[in-house]
Amino acid sequence: MLYKKQNAHFFLFLMLFSEFSFLCEALEKTPSRLSKKKLLRAFFLLHAPEAVTEAIHFLTFYFFHEQQAVLFQLDEIQMVKIIAEYTEKDIDSVRKSIKHEMSGDIGAYYSVHGKSNLQSPLFQDIFREICEFGAIEGENSQETRKKKILSLLDKVSKEDARYLLRLFVGTFRIGVSDKTILEVIFEIFLVRYGERYKDIDKKKFEQIYGVFPNLGKIVYFVLTNQIEKLLSVEPKIGMAVQSQTAEVFFKNNALLLDFSKYSYVIQPKYDGFRLQAHVTKEQEIFLFSRNQILVNHLFPTVAIALKKYALQNSFYGVIDGEVIGFDRLNNFYLTFQDTAKEKREKKKKTDKKESIELQYIIFDLLVFKEVNLMNETYQKRVQIIETFQEGEQIKHVNSIPVFNIKEIEEQHNLCIKNKYEGLMIKDLAAPYEAGKRTRTWLKYKKIQKDSLEDTIDVVILGYTLSKGMRSKRQMIGSLLVGVYDEATQHYVTVAQVGSGGNQVLWNLLYENLYAITVSSPLENVFISKAHIPDYFVTPKIVVSVKADLVSLSKDHTAGVSLRFPRLLTIRPDKNEKESTDIRKFLSE
């Protein structure tokens, strides 16, 4: 084992993969969030900064190859086939065992039934091999990925392999969020540098993370005493910035607006797919979802259109906007659900489909030619956007000044009439606040008192299997859904959803939920005895539902519930904490 000396301490310079696995296992077995933080803090302080950086990248799925994010492109079904072949077992028996004996945990299955192997390679070597997945492409890419996985399994013990396999299916099951890791880093910062940097608080760290969401690099700066470098981080082309989000606006919270002090504009609110576009000086295009996931493969036509747009405007930088389907024949924008459906059916060549195109609506500019504009006023950022020439599929949002509530109401009614989701109200003097839900952006949706015209985004917390004849068509009978409460950092339930959608959507959900099924709800998931599902899941998948009413409830842990909820679609653009705050609907 190699060590290096730094700041009068000896650090573990090279780390065995088994040591990283031991940390993951300890975190998984520790229910208390405070205890998890203590484990992370001890790990960060014991090991060398380089090792800690890569360990955090592993825990947060942050892998890059030649400056491009690594996409594993493997689902649960493919992984089951690989494991069945590698362990020389029947696929159906492996699938059933994972589902019924291991609560859907493919890693736990392998730790019991996998091949014995006493090797423990260096963590750094395994990390670099995982990064090499980014170089795999071409006709035989799936077979190459399979061989790569088998090669990795040959190098680690079956107990340690559980975290490799969980990585490939996208869930670690150790109950540690990015926010928890950031809090641990901040606590280390306070102990080491609190006296010197008394004006740096937790809020400042969250702002840094919003602009520079690389936890591995942030901890490296703290552990290596590069605080000035940390405090001066800027948004970087090619690295996704956390999106600013809007507070909900209702008629009776009009006090959020002060027309005597501030100037506002309204913009149509599109029911689309939030997309942050990065354009390099060499005209390379990187498209990121609101969860900072690279999604070029989902929107190839948008990437091509953005490249043309960048060339005609001599542009490079970072822009924020929304992808939405536009019906050119009838001259209106589609809903998110219809846009997603259009993408799935894009291979069907009909006159109707050819009349619909994906457009990218630009509504903000974060970086222009390597100059950070996030601290500039929204008015200045919009003025720069308006100097650019629109493209065939690239449009600029229309901003209209408003001077009182009456004008907002008039514009809201007009937006609804023109089939928009509602409108946005934006403060022209405000900066771009990365990663924050702010009152400088307000969303005013179509909501009526006796029914909900708007869709509601909820996170799935569990599911119940179908019974009777229905079980022959689809596996899931109903979903237990909830919302994330920012104040308490808990997930609370709001409804059981058993209708809506179609058979394809329900079966797709089952495949996705099967991969994240757990034996019991996580520590911060609150479910009443009246709504215990057949299976619990890790809060991860967000879906849109339609409901008639929001009402007070004693049975659901949110204190409110949705009446007559119907499933609409999966929201892959949203993470588990971006659910709708439906309790605000009660004040309408």
Q: Looking at the domain assignment, is residue 197 inside a domain?
A: yes
**How does strand 566-570 pair with strand 264-269?**
unpaired
Q: Is the torsion defined by CA of 537, 539, 544, 547 positive or negative?
A: positive
Whether the CB-CB separation of 48 and 219 falls below 8 Å is answered with: no
Structural domain contains residue 7: no
Residue the block writes with tokens 């399979």: 146
369 vs 372: CA distance, rounded Å: 9
- CATH code of 392's domain: 3.30.470.30
Same domain, 143 and 163: yes
Name, in order, each residue with C-beta under 8 angstroms of 403's C-beta and a sequence gap of 6 or more.
Answer: 259
Q: Domain for residue 10, yes or no?
A: no
Parallel, antiparallel, or unpaired: how do β-strands 476-485 and 273-279 relate?
A: unpaired
DSSP symbol at 403: -
One domain for residues 154 and 193: no
Q: Which of 265, 296, 282, 515 is nearest to 400 (CA)?
A: 265
* Angle formed at CA 265 by CA 262 and CA 268, multiple of 5 degrees: 150
- Gap between the Cα atoms of 548 and 332, Å rounded: 25
Q: Are 266 and 378 in contact (CB under 8 A)?
A: no
Query: Which of 135, 169, 203 is a domain's end point?
Result: 169
* Same domain for 461 and 410: no
Strand pairing category for 245-248 and 437-445 = parallel
For the stretch 45-89, pLDDT in tens is 999 999 999 999 999 888 876 666 676 767 778 888 999 998 999
- 135 domain-assigned: yes
Residue 588: per-residue pLDDT: 45
Same-domain status, 523 and 567: yes
How far apart are alpha carbons 557 and 266 in whole angstroms?
36
Instruction: Write phi, then psi, for 285 (nearest 5 degrees).
Output: -115, 130
The CATH number for 65's domain is 1.10.3260.10
Residues 6+ apart with CB under 8 A from 77: 511
Last residue of a domain, one of 142, 169, 196: 169
Longest Cα separation, the chain: 73
Tell me the torsion sign for CA atoms 518, 558, 256, 267: positive
User: 497: domain range?
Assistant: 456-587
Per-position DSSP letters for 249-278, written without gaps between them: --GGGGGG--TTT--EEEEEEP-SEEEEEE
- CB-based contact 466:443 (threshold 8 Å): no
3-state class (DSSP) for residue 292: coil
- Domain annotation covers residue 1: no
User: Is residue 569 domain-resident?
Assistant: yes
Query: Which CATH number goes with the domain that contains 560?
Result: 2.40.50.140
Contact 543, 460 (CB under 8 A): yes
Distance from C-alpha of 456 to C-alpha of 436, rounded to nearest angstrom: 20
The pTM of this model reads 0.73
Question: Three-state DSSP class for 349?
Answer: coil
Gap between the terminal Cα atoms of the chain: 63
Residue 440 lies in a domain: yes
5 falls within a domain: no
| 326 and 222 part of one domain | no
Q: What is the pLDDT of residue 5?
A: 46
- Per-residue pLDDT of the chain in tens (588 residues, 90 and over written 9): 444 444 444 455 689 999 999 999 999 888 788 999 999 999 999 999 999 999 999 998 888 766 666 767 677 788 889 999 989 999 999 988 887 788 778 888 999 998 887 778 999 999 999 998 878 877 888 888 889 999 999 999 999 999 999 888 877 778 888 889 999 999 999 999 999 999 999 989 999 999 998 999 999 999 999 999 999 999 989 889 999 999 888 766 677 899 999 999 999 999 889 999 999 999 999 999 888 888 888 899 999 999 999 999 999 999 999 999 998 888 888 877 777 766 655 544 544 446 788 999 999 999 999 899 999 999 999 999 999 999 989 999 999 999 999 999 999 999 988 889 899 999 999 999 998 888 999 998 875 433 456 688 999 999 998 876 555 567 788 999 999 987 788 899 999 998 888 888 898 898 888 878 887 788 789 898 888 888 889 899 999 998 877 777 878 988 888 888 899 999 988 888 888 876 665 544
Q: Tell whether 398 and 472 lie within a shared domain.
A: no
Note whether 391 and 265 are same-domain residues.
Answer: yes
Residues 532 and 396 occupy one common structural domain: no
Helix (H, G, I), strand (E, B) or coil at 546: strand
Q: Length of the chain in residues, anyone?
A: 588
Domains of the chain: total: 4
| Structural domain ending residue among the three candidates 123, 141, 169 | 169
Token match 């329900």: residue? Answer: 506
The answer to whether residues 149 and 189 belong to one domain is: no
Q: What share of the chain is helix, strand, coil (3-state, %, to 5)?
A: 40, 25, 35
Q: How many CB atoms lie within 10 A of CB 526?
A: 17
Continuous H helices in 30-90: 33-46, 49-59, 76-87
The position carrying tokens 């937006």 is: 415
- Indicate the helix (H) or strand (E) that contains 509: helix 503-514
User: Contact, 175 vs 516, CB < 8 A?
Assistant: no
Distances (CA, A) of 511 to 104, 498, 569: 10, 17, 15
Give the C-alpha distances (Å, rounded to integers) separating 153 from 148, 451, 559.
9, 54, 47
Rounded to whole angstroms, the Cα distance separating 254 from 256 reads 5
Based on the fold, state whether residues 192 and 296 are members of the same structural domain.
no
* Shared-domain flag, residues 139 and 277: no
485 and 379, same structural domain? no
